[in-house]
Amino acid sequence: MRVIIADDSVLFREGLARLLEGAGFDVVGQASNAEHLEQLVAAQRPSLVILDIRMPPTQTDEGLVAAKRIRHQHPQVSVLLLSHHVETHHALELLGQSPERVGYLLKDRVGDLSEFLDAVRRVGNGGSAVDPLVVSQLLGRKRSRDLIDDLTDRERSVLAQMAEGRSNDAIASTLKISPKTLEAHIGTIYSKLGLEPATAHHRRVLAVLNYLRSS
């Protein structure tokens, strides 16, 4: 999978590139700012761009702006946004109306290598990844707790993993349950929450996030 990395720290870029190459990814470019990144994307046509939200010159949300523009101009390119802080606001803004080929993770997630690589692959293959912190914050709210009051603990774990953008297979293997059992859980969740069943796993990310955020 062809990847471009954008971050203003060369050490981080190099470290991440080494990690990704060790896992079989093909890092085809590195950029230290949004402008250079967009030139590289246009030239290299990568499958995936991994970028930091804060980049020069203002060190605020250049990465978010660049991510949205790349998604608009190159719909076939997947975008994974990294940040030292995660915010629901940014997550929803990035996901927009189409949660395909997009991810938003805390930078610290590189510390869980397999989880991180799983998310990178998921986004690169057209899926989505939402940081567990965003999901847990949404689930932890009083309003959300009221909404999901009827769910069992197991069902809540399933809901959280759905919101993070995981596929059924991934959820089943993480929770060590059979795909059949998982599907039963998902059906119960949908009926308890009154949600429209969504087939594609990345579609249901938005449905669940918006449901949890409604207040």
**What minimum distance in Å lies between the beta carbon of 146 and other proteins?**
8
Question: In the stretch 117-156, what mask flags binding to other proteins with x, by CB under 8 A?
Answer: --------------------xx-xxxx--x----------
**By the rule CB under 8 A, 96 interacts with other proteins:** no
Compute how many other C-beta atoms are within 10 angstroms of the C-beta atom of residue 45: 13
For residue 60, give the 3-state DSSP assignment. Answer: coil
DSSP run (H or E) holding 11: helix 10-22
The DSSP secondary-structure symbol of 152 reads -
CA–CA separation, 210 and 92 (whole Å): 8
**By the rule CB under 8 A, 18 interacts with other proteins:** yes
**Contact indicator for 128, 205 with CB cutoff of 8 Å:** yes
Near other proteins by CB under 8 A: residue from 111, 180, 194, 196: 111
Query: What phi and psi, each to the nearest 5 degrees, are found at residue 79?
Result: -130, 125
**By the rule CB under 8 A, 102 interacts with other proteins:** no
Near other proteins by CB under 8 A: residue from 39, 59, 125, 181: 59
What are the residues binding other proteins (CB under 8 A)? 9, 11-12, 15-16, 18-19, 22, 53-54, 59-61, 64, 84-85, 87-90, 107-108, 110-111, 113, 137-138, 140-143, 146, 215
